[in-house]
Structure 1
Amino acid sequence: MNTWSAVGPELRRLRHQAGYTLTELSLAVNYSKGYLSKVERGKVKPSPDLVRRVDTFLRAKGALRRLVEPSPRNRTAAVRANDDAGPVDRRWELDPAELLAVGVDTLIGTVLKRPGHATSSGGTALLDALTTQLEQSRALGQCCDPATLLPVLEAQTRSVVALLSTGAPRDRLPLLVLASRFAEFAGWMAQEAGMVRAALSWTADAVLLAQAGEDPHLASYALVRRALVTLYDGDSSGTIGLAAQAQTDGRLPPRIRGLAAQREAQGHALAGDELACMRALERARRSLAAAEGDAGPGPVIGTTNLADPAAMVTGWCLYDLGSPREAAQVLDRECHRIPENALRTRTRYGFRRALAHAAAGEVEHSCAIAQGLLDMSVATPSATVRSDIRRLSDELGRYRVNRAVRELQPALAWALKPALI
C-alpha cells in the first residue's frame, strides 16, 4: 500500500475530532473542498505543502507529516557520498612557488610587489589585504555565477597557503585561519553551483586549515553546513541531528552556536514540531545577540547581509510549519532590509517570500514579487534557490487560469533550466 494512502483516513479523523467541516478546512488551508475530499477518500496523492498546512492547522504535531516522510535509506545521499569519497584533495600540498604563481595576478600578488609590503615586515598590511580580498570575493559571490567564481577561490586559497613558507612566523596562524575562510566560502559556492560532493570536500579542507590555525570551532560550523545539505534533501531528522551535534561544544563562539540553533529550528520546522522550532529560534536569537560584541578569530562566518538573521529564519520556518500568511508577513518586513547589492541573498529569501504569498492565496502579489527576482536568479544561479523556484512553480500551477500566473510561467520555466556546470 502507498504510504500516502494512510493520510486520507487520518486527515478525516483529525478534522472530525477538531470539529471542522471540509468547507472550513478548505478556507483555512487554501485548497479546494473537492481536492480535500479526494485526499480524504484516498483518490489523489496529497501535496507535501497541503500535508504541512493541514498538520499545522489541526495541531497534529507532525502526525500527518510522518505518514509521508521519505524512507531513511533514500535520504541525504549527498552527505553519505562525503563519507565514501576517499582521500580529500589537499590542494595546498603543492610546490609553494607553483601555488603563488596561480595567484600572482590577484590582489595578493599586487600587494607583495608593492614597496614596504614584504611578508617579513608587513604582516599586518598583508593580512589586511587578504581580508579585503575575501570580502571582495564574497561581494562577487552575491552577483555572479558561483561556478565561475570557484576557480578564482581555489587560486586564492592556494595563494594564501603558499605565503606560509615565506611569511613571518607570527603570521602563520592568522594566514591559516584566513585560508580556512577562503576554503569555507568555496564550499558554499560549490553548493550553490549544485556540486554537493565538492562543497563537502571544500568544507572538510576548511576545517583542517582552521584546526592548523588553532581555530577549532570551524568543525562545528562544518556540521551546520552539512545540515544545510540535509535540509534541502528534505531530511528533517538528519538536519536536527547535525545541528544539535554542532552545539555540543560548550566553548563554541556565540555566532556559530546561533547559526547552529537556526539550522536546528529549520529542521524542526520541516518535521512540523512548532514548539521545538520556536525554542531553537529563541536560543539562536540570544546567541546571535551575544555574538555582536564577541567576534571570533578571522573574518565573520556566515552571511553578513541579513539585518536580523533569526527573524528571517523565523519567516522561513513559519512557511515550513504550514503557516504561510504569518511567514509572508515576517518575510515582507525582513526582505526589505536586505542591501540592494546583495543579489544572491535577495533572490534566496525573495523567492521564499513569493512562495509564502502564493501559499496564502495572494497569487497576483506572489507573481509580482517573483517577476522582480527572475533576472537576478538567472544572473546569480543557485541550486538551492532553484528548489524554491520549482516549489513556487508547482504552487502557482494550481492557478493556471490566473492571468498573472500564465504570464509568469514561461519565465519560471526558463529559470528552472538545468545549470551548466
Structure 2
Amino acid sequence: MGGCAPGFGAELRRRRKAVGLSLTELSAMLHYSKGYLSKIENDRKAPSPELARRCDSVLGADGALLVLAPGRRSYLRRRVRDDAAGEGLTDGYRLPDAAHSAARRDEAGCVPLGPGVTVTTLAAVGLAAQHDRTAAGFQAMFIQVRRLGMTISPALVLPILAAQIKVLRELASAADGSSRRRLLLLAARYAEYAGWMAQEAGDDRAAGWWTDMAVGFATAAGDRDLASYALVRHALIALYRRDACRTVALARRAQSHREVAPRVLGLAAQREAQGHALAGDYDDCQRALERARDLLAVAGPDGSGLPVLGSSTVPDSVDMVTAWCLYDLGRPQQAVDMLQQELARVPATAARARTRFAVRLSMARAAVGDLDGSCATAAGALPTAAIVDSATIRLDLRDLARVFARWPRHPAVAALSPQLGGVRNRPAPGR
C-alpha cells in the first residue's frame, strides 16, 4: 500500500461515480494521467496533498475526501491534541524572549559582521549631539537598502544591514530619551529586514537569529508590535517548510496580543489563512482572510514614523494571498484569474515580488492544463529569478519542476527544462 491513507482511493472512486464521471473525464479535469489516478483509486499510490485538495474541490466533497489524505489526517490529529492541551498548536515552539536574544550576542554585545566589514565608532565620527539628524539619515538609508533588496542577491544586502545595525546600537547606547527610542526602533527594523534577507539567502537559522535580535531592540524601546510581528516571520519559515500546524499556531499567537497595531494583526491573519490553505481548510482560510482584510483596511501609521512592517510593494496583499490560497485549496483557475490581475499591479521596480508571483502564476496555469502559457510565464521570470537569488523562489521553482515532470514530452516544457533546472538547482550561498 506504500503508506496510503486507508479509504482515500475507494472514496475517490465512489464520489467520482456518484457524479457520473469516468476516470478519463476526471483525468482531463485534474490534468493528471488516467493511469496515475487508477493507481490512486486502487490504493497503489498515496495521493499528494496537492492532488488530494484538487480531487476534493473538483468533486465537491467539502473536505470529506480531503480528510482521508495522509497529510490532512496528521494535521487534524495535531489540532485535536494541541487544542485539547491548550497549546495552540505550538508543538513545543517557543519564541526566544528579549533577554534570551541578548544573551546570544557576544560579550561586548556586538552584532557579528561579515568578512572584511569594519565600522567606525561613535567617538570617531563625533555624532553624540546629532542623534535625531543621524536617525533620519539611517531611516533614509534603510529605505534605499530595502529597495536594493528587491533587485539583488540577499547575500549582498546582509553585510550592509549588519554594519548599519552595529552603528545604530552604538548610537543608541550613547543617546537617551526619545532619541534613544528612535535609534533602537530603527535598529529593530534593520534587524527584522536582515532576518528576511537571511531567509531569502537560504539560512533559516540566521533568519530566526536576526528576527529575535529585532525583538530585543524593539522591546528595549518599549515597542510590542515587533514581538508579535516576529511570530509572523517565524510562521513564514514554517510555511515554506510545509508545516501547516506550526504556521497556524504562530500566526494565532501573533494575534493573541490585541494591544498591537492592526497592521500586525492583519498580517498575522493573512499568514494564518496561508496555513489553513496548506492544510486544505477552506472555511478557516476564508475566515482568516476576511479578518485580515478588515484589519488592514483600518490600519494606519503606527506612530513611529518608520517604514511599515511587511511588504510595501504589493498593492493589495490580501488579494495576492487569497490568490495563492486558492491554488493551495485546489482551485487553480480562480488562482490564475486573481494572480494575473494582482501581478499586473506590482510595480516593475519590485523585481523579487514580481518574480515570486510570476512563478506562482506559472504553477497555477500548469495546474489548469495551460502548459504553453505556464512555460511562457516561467520563461519570463527565470532571468530575474537568477539575479535576485531567492531561496524561497527556488523552492517554488522546484515545485514547478515537479508539476512539469508530468509532461516531459510537451515541447514548451522540454524547451524550458534546462533553464529551469539551472536556476532552481543553484545552491544557497554558503552551502
Same fold at TM > 0.5: yes
Residue identity in the other structure for 1:162 = E
SS at match of 2:229: helix
Matches within 5 A, 1:132-281: 132-167=140-175, 169-281=177-289
More divergent stretch after superposition (400-409 vs 303-312):
400-409
Matched, 1:127 2:125: no
Shift of 1:255: 0.6
| CA contact 2:131–2:171 (8 Å) conserved in 1 | no
Distance across 2 between alignment mates of 1:274 and 1:408: 33
Q: Equivalent residue for 1:383?
A: 391
Q: Equivalent residue for 2:302?
A: 295
Q: Equivalent residue for 1:401?
A: 409
Distance across 2 between alignment mates of 1:63 and 1:386: 31
Q: Equivalent residue for 1:374?
A: 382
Shift of 1:247: 0.4
Q: Equivalent residue for 1:44?
A: 45
SS at match of 2:314: coil
Distance across 2 between alignment mates of 1:318 and 1:165: 48
Shift of 1:231: 0.9
| CA contact 1:82–1:200 (8 Å) conserved in 2 | no
Matched, 1:35 2:36: yes
After superposition, the CA RMSD in angstroms is 3.0
Which aligned runs of 4 or more in structure 1 are off by greater than 4 angstroms? 70-74, 76-83, 85-88
Residue identity in the other structure for 1:192 = E
Distance across 2 between alignment mates of 1:77 and 1:354: 33
How has the CA–CA distance of structure 1 residues 32 and 230 changed in structure 2, closer, same or farther, with 3 Å as cutoff? same
SS at match of 2:152: coil
Residue identity in the other structure for 1:56 = S
Distance across 1 between alignment mates of 2:354 and 2:160: 24
1:307-362: per-residue Cα shift (whole Å, max 9, x none)?
Answer: 00000001110000011111011000111111111111111111111111111111
Equivalent of 1:419, from 402, 415, 428?
428
SS at match of 2:4: helix
Residue identity in the other structure for 1:251 = E
How has the CA–CA distance of structure 1 residues 249 and 82 changed in structure 2, closer, same or farther, with 3 Å as cutoff? closer
Count of paired positions = 407
Distance across 1 between alignment mates of 2:320 and 2:187: 29
Q: Equivalent residue for 1:68?
A: 70
SS at match of 2:405: helix
Shift of 1:57: 2.1
How has the CA–CA distance of structure 1 residues 414 and 372 changed in structure 2, closer, same or farther, with 3 Å as cutoff? same
Matched, 1:2 2:10: no
1:19-63: per-residue Cα shift (whole Å, max 9, x none)?
Answer: 533233223222233321221012334333212211222324164
Shift of 1:91: 6.0
Distance across 2 between alignment mates of 1:130 and 1:87: 23
Residue identity in the other structure for 2:343 = C
Residue identity over aligned pairs, in percent, reads 43
Distance across 1 between alignment mates of 2:420 and 2:94: 31
Shift of 1:391: 0.9
Matched, 1:332 2:333: no
Shift of 1:78: 13
Shift of 1:295: 2.9
More divergent stretch after superposition (255-264 vs 57-66):
57-66
Shift of 1:4: 2.3
Shift of 1:137: 1.2
Matches within 5 A, 1:13-32: 13-32=14-33
How has the CA–CA distance of structure 1 residues 337 and 95 changed in structure 2, closer, same or farther, with 3 Å as cutoff? closer
Q: Report the TM-score, using the length of structure 2 for normalisation.
A: 0.86
Shift of 1:165: 3.2
Shift of 1:225: 0.8
How has the CA–CA distance of structure 1 residues 386 and 371 changed in structure 2, closer, same or farther, with 3 Å as cutoff? same
How has the CA–CA distance of structure 1 residues 400 and 81 changed in structure 2, closer, same or farther, with 3 Å as cutoff? farther
| CA contact 1:11–1:40 (8 Å) conserved in 2 | yes
SS at match of 1:4: coil
Distance across 1 between alignment mates of 2:93 and 2:270: 23
How has the CA–CA distance of structure 1 residues 335 and 205 changed in structure 2, closer, same or farther, with 3 Å as cutoff? same
Shift of 1:395: 0.8
Structure 1's unaligned 5+ residue stretches are none
Distance across 2 between alignment mates of 1:231 and 1:15: 32
